[in-house]
C-alpha cells in the first residue's frame, strides 16, 4: 500500500516538473511585448469597395489628430480600446476593432454604415439615410443611390422614404430603373426612371400607427404599384413606344392613366392663342370706343364755339360828341 502511494507521489512530482519546465521555456522564449514598438499599422475596411465613405488614409489622419496613432510607439502605451472608441465617433463607421500582435503590429478592422438613399430636400437639407433609418452627413462620397427630392422633412424621410427605398433596393430591376423619388406638396410620390422619358405617379404612401405596421403597409403598397408598372412596361410601352407618354399615373386601383407627350404643351399653346385673341379684340373694342368718344367731344366743342344770334337784343346808342366851347373875346 505504501509502495503505491510512493509511486503516485513520484509521478505527481515528475508531472509538476515537466509543467514547470514547459512554462519556463515558453516564458524565456516569449518576446517582451511591452518593450517592443509598433512597426506596422494595418487598416482593413471590409466594405470599402461598395461604400467608400472612408479611406485608410483618413483613418490614419484621424488617429494622428487625436494623438492615438500607434506607429513607432511602445506597444505597452498603445490603448486599443481608446482607438476603437475614437473611430466609432465617425458618423460613417459602424463597427471598429483594434488589437495588437506579438511581432509589433497593430490591426484595425472597420465596417461602414450602409447608405440607402440621399435626401436633397426643397428646404435645403442634404444628407444620407442608412439602413437603420439614421441620418448620415453629406460628404464627397458619390454612388448610384436613389435621390429623394421635394418636400421631404426629416420625419417623412426616416418614416416613409427610408422603407420605400429599401423596397426598391431589394428588387434588382427597380434598383437599376428608379433614380429619383420626388415628393409633392401634398406628399404624393413621383418616381423618375433611368430608362424612358416619363414620370410615374404612385400617389400618397399609406400611414401606420407603429413603425412595423407602417413598413408592412408601404411594402404591400409598393409591391402592388410596381407590379402594375412592370406589366405595363412589358406589354404596353413596347407597342406604344417608350417615349410616347410623359406622365404615367397608377395612383388609382385597376387603371393606368397616361398623358401623351406634347398634350399639355398643345393645350397651353391653344390657351395662349385664345388669350392673345381675346386681348386683341379687347384692344380693338377699346380703340373703337375711344374714337367714338373723341368724335362726340369734337362735335360738342364745335357747337359750343359758335355764338347764336339773340333777336331780342337791342343795340346800344352811340353817344354824341359834346359841343366845343366858344372862345372868349
pLDDT in tens, 137-162: 887 666 678 999 999 999 999 999 99
pLDDT band at 230 (very low <50, low <70, confident <90, very high): very high
Q: Where does residue 117 rank: exposed (0-12), middle (13-18), buried (19+ CB within 10 A)?
A: buried
Cα–Cα distances in Å, from 184 out to 13, 120, 123, 175, 188? 86, 13, 13, 22, 5
Distance of CA 278 to the CA centre of its chain: 44
Give the closest residue to 117 by CA, choosing from 156, 162, 84.
Answer: 162
- The residue-averaged pLDDT of 118-145 equals 86
pLDDT of 311 > 90? The answer is: no
Res 298: pLDDT: 56
Res 2: pLDDT: 58
Whole-prediction pTM value? 0.64
pLDDT of 228 > 90? The answer is: yes
A 10 A CB-CB count for 205 gives 21
pLDDT of 49 > 90? The answer is: no
Q: Tell which wins on pLDDT, 266 or 214.
A: 214
Res 172: pLDDT: 92
Q: What percent of the chain clears pLDDT 70, i.e. is strictly above it?
A: 72
pLDDT of 198 > 80? The answer is: yes
In this predicted structure, which of 181-185, 283-287, 294-298, 323-327 has the lowest mean pLDDT? Answer: 323-327
- As a whole number, the mean pLDDT across the chain is 81
Residues 64-87 have pLDDT tens digits of: 999 999 999 999 999 999 999 999
Amino acid at each position: 500500500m505504501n509502495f503505491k502511494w510512493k509511486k503516485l507521489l513520484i509521478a505527481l512530482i515528475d508531472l509538476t516538473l515537466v509543467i514547470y519546465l514547459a512554462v519556463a521555456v515558453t516564458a524565456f522564449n516569449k518576446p517582451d511585448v511591452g518593450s517592443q514598438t509598433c512597426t506596422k499599422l494595418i487598416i482593413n475596411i471590409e466594405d470599402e469597395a461598395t461604400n467608400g465613405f472612408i479611406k485608410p488614409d483618413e483613418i490614419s489622419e484621424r488617429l494622428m489628430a487625436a494623438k492615438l496613432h500607434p506607429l513607432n510607439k511602445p506597444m505597452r502605451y498603445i490603448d486599443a480600446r481608446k482607438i476603437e472608441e475614437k473611430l466609432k465617433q465617425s458618423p460613417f463607421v459602424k463597427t471598429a476593432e483594434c488589437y495588437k500582435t506579438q511581432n509589433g503590429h497593430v490591426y484595425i478592422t472597420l465596417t461602414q454604415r450602409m447608405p440607402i438613399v440621399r435626401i436633397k430636400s426643397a428646404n435645403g437639407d442634404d444628407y444620407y439615410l442608412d439602413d437603420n433609418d439614421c441620418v448620415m452627413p453629406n460628404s464627397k462620397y458619390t454612388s448610384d443611390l436613389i435621390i429623394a427630392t421635394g418636400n421631404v422633412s426629416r420625419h417623412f424621410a426616416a418614416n416613409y422614404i427610408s422603407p420605400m427605398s429599401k423596397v426598391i433596393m431589394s428588387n434588382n430591376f427597380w434598383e437599376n430603373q428608379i433614380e429619383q423619388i420626388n415628393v409633392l406638396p401634398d406628399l404624393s410620390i413621383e418616381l423618375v426612371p433611368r430608362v424612358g422619358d416619363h414620370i410615374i405617379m404612385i400617389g400618397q404612401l399609406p400611414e401606420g400607427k407603429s413603425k412595423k405596421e407602417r413598413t408592412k403597409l408601404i411594402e404591400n403598397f409598393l409591391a402592388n404599384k410596381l407590379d402594375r408598372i412592370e406589366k405595363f412596361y412589358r406589354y404596353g410601352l413596347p407597342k406604344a413606344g417608350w417615349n410616347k407618354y410623359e406622365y404615367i399615373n397608377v395612383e388609382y386601383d385597376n387603371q393606368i392613366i397616361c398623358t401623351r407627350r406634347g398634350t399639355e404643351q398643345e393645350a397651353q399653346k391653344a390657351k395662349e392663342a385664345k388669350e392673345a385673341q381675346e386681348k386683341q379684340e379687347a384692344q380693338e373694342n377699346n380703340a373703337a370706343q375711344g374714337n367714338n368718344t373723341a368724335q362726340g367731344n369734337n362735335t360738342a366743342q364745335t357747337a359750343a364755339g359758335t355764338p347764336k344770334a339773340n333777336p331780342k337784343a337791342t343795340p346800344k346808342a352811340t353817344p354824341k360828341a359834346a359841343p366845343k366851347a366858344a372862345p372868349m373875346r
